[in-house]
Amino acid sequence: MGCGNSTASKSIVTFGNVADFHRKYKLGTKLGEGAFGQVRTCHTSGDKDLAVKILDVCGNGEAAVKERLWQAFVDEVNLWKTCCGDGNAYVVHLAEAYEDRKFAYIVMEKCKGSVLDQFLKESSNPSEWDILGAFCQMFRAVQHVHSVGIVHRDIKPPNFLAGGEDGHEVKICDFGLAAAVTSKPLKGHVGTPPFMSPEMVLMQPYDTATDVWSLGVLAYLLFFGEFPHEPVTKSPQTMKKAIANNSPAARFAPIANFPSPPPGVTEFLRMILVRDPKLRPSCTTILQTPLMSETAQGDSMFSPRARAAESVKTRSNIRRAMTRTLDFKLKPDPTQVRNVDEILLELQNKWGGKEESRFHKRRPSMEADVDCMSDDGSFSGTASKRSAPRSITCNDAMTLQKSLKDEGVEIADSGTKILLERRDSRINSHGGEVNIAPEYKMPQVL
């Protein structure tokens, strides 16, 4: 069934008709997207908002690619469900999953956002004790994942969400790169480069200790304002080389204009960021250290100690950590994103009905920003596309602006350099032809 062999799964996945998911759920606003999919709000009639991770499980249509993507989806669901158990407080709850030969849908609880985002929303001055309180919960979450025999392999800020009614509970999410611990050693580069462990980048066997290293890197970034290994030229390749060679070595000191961390943090990070994985402590051992024991504040990531007069405010630390992590995010193909948006809109309209679909009302892809620039470089801007522009060729800024205006496109502020061109697209789904709204692909700069 689907793009692969359905007998490979004993999970909660519903395999079947393209209509199954869209008849049950209404899609809402887009919460995020990456190179491998997107996350949106969704809801059933009368229910509170949930979230759904939507993955393309057919890729370029080649059989081998479809099989690999489909199996990766099934593995993610099974590992995620194992971590959830009967409802673990530190794991984002997985409700159910669907597969319809084109997309896979993983329905989950909707959280408030990432933990770091929530700090900035909730507090004008989050303190170092707030950060340590959140880390205590992060270690508990990863400890649980390890206890059921799973290595997460993608520990980074966006994969810790703020859940619970008040948004104060740290929950781990995204098991797309996770793997089960077996007798066969894990090898290979997996995850986001600056968070990879030395044993991983050196192509040595690794286990749960690689996640501990990644948590240490996250703490180091928040308290010191940089990654432990910072090459002069920053790229995924140079970052992995710096980690492998331990050059430049970690300084264990904050960058200029960053506050000094609380007492004990530097020693705490030195204990975690041990290059030999055999000497690296487990999450259980780390949670027993005095710093974590003193920081533990029940199930809230906000620490009462944060209100103390001596607390150092860390808002700039959090913003910098979020920005530095985004520097290494895989960027989605804009053409592919627009195509997926259009297909989902069509499926919602066809199977889910138009009257309740917030996705339909919002029509994000049909009102997406259009980045454009004139040939002479004298004008660049982001255009809000209210009607579909044709491909426009012009030689100067005035002609470009006039052409866009004639097409019903409103000029906004400065942006980058691309115009869109329109073409029609069709797909087949379960033997029935589905008409797809126009796709907008990005050609070279005109």
Q: What is the pLDDT of residue 288?
A: 94
φ/ψ of 18, rounded to 5, equals -60, -25
Domains of the chain: 6-109 (3.30.200.20), 115-326 (1.10.510.10), 368-441 (no CATH)
CA atoms within 13 A on the CB side of 78: 13
- Four-point Cα dihedral 339, 340, 341, 347, nearest 10: 110
Distance of CA 195 to the CA centre of its chain: 14
Three-class DSSP category at 401: helix
Which of 197, 195, 125 has its CA nearest to residue 160? 195
> Nearest 5 degrees, angle CA 72-CA 160-CA 167?
130
- 105: tokens are 């849908």
Quote the CA–CA distance of 24 and 21 in Å, as a whole number. 5
* pLDDT of the chain, 446 residues: tens digit per residue: 333 333 333 446 666 566 889 988 999 999 988 877 899 999 887 777 899 999 988 877 788 888 888 899 999 999 999 999 877 899 999 999 998 878 999 999 999 999 999 888 876 677 788 889 899 999 999 999 999 999 999 999 999 999 988 888 999 999 999 999 998 889 999 999 999 999 999 999 999 999 999 999 999 999 999 999 999 998 999 999 999 999 999 999 999 888 888 889 999 999 999 999 999 999 999 999 999 987 765 555 555 454 443 445 678 888 899 999 988 887 777 777 778 888 898 888 888 755 444 554 433 333 333 333 333 333 334 333 333 333 334 444 455 555 545 544 443 433 333 333 333 333 222 333 322 233 333 332 32
Decide: pTM greater than 0.85.
no
Q: What is the pLDDT of residue 39?
A: 95
Q: How many CB atoms lie within 10 A of CB 86?
A: 4
Beta-carbon contacts of 69 under 8 Å, excluding residues fewer than 6 positions away, are 3, 55, 56, 57, 58, 59
Three-class DSSP category at 319: helix
Runs of H (alpha helix) within 85-208: 115-122, 128-147, 198-201
Q: What is the pLDDT of residue 402?
A: 54
Strand partners, 53: 39, 106
Quote the CA–CA distance of 213 and 24 in Å, as a whole number. 41
In eight-state DSSP terms, residue 127 is B
